C-alpha cells in the first residue's frame, strides 16, 4: 500500500515514521514553515516534494497537520481519497482553530476525528473518533501535546491498518444539524475564561 503523507510538524513526522515501521510504501510532501517533517522525510529518503502539486498517484493521501485545502483534482490522485485528522469531535468545531475554541468555550471534553476529505471544510465522512478530558489548567498547546496529537497518530494508523487489511475505509456521514464552525482565533492570546490570560504559540499544533 502506497501512502502519501502531506503536512508538517510532529504529527506528520510521527505518522511517517510509524508507516515506515509497518513497512508501508511512503512518500512525503512537506508543507508549511516548520522543518520537523521535512527534515525527517529527507533523512528517511522519502521526501517527494514541498508543494501540494507534487503529490503523486497513490493508494491513500494522509493529511497530517495540513492547513491547505486539497482540491478534487489532487484528491483524485489517491485511489481511496484523502484521510485527514481534525482535533475535535466533528461535526463540532469545524475550522482551523478547534483546540483554541474548545478551551475558550470552557468545554470539559473534546476529541479527535479522522475523516475522508471532501469539498467542504471538515465536512467529510467520519472514519473514526476518540475523546479526552480538557483539564482546568489546559492551554491549547498542553492539550494538543498531551492528548490530541498522540490521538491523531493512533486514529490515523488504525484507519491505515483497516484499509490495508480490508481494502476499504468504512465511514459515516456527519450530522450537519449538530455542526458548528468557528473562524480563525486571534493569534495574540487566548482569553483565559478561568482567570488571567493564557498565551500560546502552539508550537506543536
At 195 the pLDDT is 42
Going by C-beta distance under 8 Å and a sequence separation of 6 or more, which residues neighbour residue 179? 90, 91, 92, 94, 123
Q: Same CATH fold, 84-199 and 1-79?
A: yes
Top-confidence residue, 202 or 8: 8
CATH fold for domain 84-199 = Rossmann fold (3.40.50)
pLDDT tens per residue, range 43-62: 999 999 999 999 999 999 99
Computed over every residue of the chain, the mean pLDDT equals 91
pLDDT tens per residue, range 158-167: 999 999 999 9
At 191 the pLDDT is 46
Average pLDDT on 9-22 reads: 97
Angle between helices 149-166 and 9-21 (to 10 degrees): 40
Report how far residue 90's alpha carbon sits from residue 107's, in angstroms, rounded to the nearest whole number: 14
Q: Where are the domains of the chain?
A: 1-79, 84-199
Helix (H, G, I), strand (E, B) or coil at 175: coil
pLDDT tens per residue, range 71-84: 999 999 999 999 99
pLDDT band for position 196 (50/70/90)?
very low
How far from the centroid of its chain's Cα atoms is residue 156's Cα?
9
Report how far residue 6's alpha carbon sits from residue 82's, in angstroms, rounded to the nearest whole number: 10
Going by C-beta distance under 8 Å and a sequence separation of 6 or more, which residues neighbour residue 175? 91
Rg of the Cα trace of the chain? 16
Report how far residue 129's alpha carbon sits from residue 72's, in angstroms, rounded to the nearest whole number: 24
Superfamily of domain 1-79: Formyl transferase, N-terminal domain (3.40.50.170)
Q: Is the pLDDT of residue 194 over 60?
A: no
Amino acid at each position: 500500500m502506497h501512502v502519501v503523507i502531506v503536512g508538517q510538524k510532529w504529527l506528520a513526522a510521527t505518522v511517517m515514521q510509524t508507516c515506515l515501521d509497518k513497512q508501508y510504501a511512503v512518500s512525503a510532501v512537506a508543507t508549511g514553515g516548520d522543518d520537523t517533517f521535512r527534515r525527517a522525510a529527507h533523512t528517511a529518503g522519502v521526501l517527494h516534494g514541498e508543494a501540494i502539486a507534487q503529490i503523486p498517484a497513490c493508494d491513500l493521501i494522509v493529511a497530517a497537520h495540513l492547513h491547505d485545502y486539497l482540491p478534487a483534482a489532487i484528491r483524485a490522485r489517491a485511489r481511496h481519497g484523502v484521510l485527514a485528522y481534525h482535533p475535535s469531535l466533528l461535526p463540532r468545531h469545524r475550522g482551523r482553530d478547534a483546540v483554541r475554541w474548545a478551551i475558550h468555550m470552557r468545554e470539559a471534553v473534546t476529541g479527535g476525528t479522522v475523516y475522508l476529505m471532501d469539498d467542504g471544510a471538515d465536512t467529510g465522512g467520519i472514519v473514526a473518533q476518540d475523546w479526552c478530558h480538557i483539564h482546568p489548567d489546559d492551554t491549547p498547546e498542553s492539550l494538543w501535546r498531551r492528548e490530541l496529537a498522540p490521538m491523531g497518530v493512533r486514529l490515523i494508523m488504525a484507519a491505515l491498518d483497516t484499509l490495508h487489511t480490508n481494502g476499504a475505509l468504512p465511514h459515516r456521514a456527519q450530522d450537519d444539524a449538530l455542526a458548528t464552525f468557528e473562524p480563525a482565533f486571534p493569534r495574540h492570546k487566548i482569553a483565559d475564561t478561568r482567570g488571567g490570560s493564557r498565551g500560546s504559540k502552539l508550537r506543536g499544533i
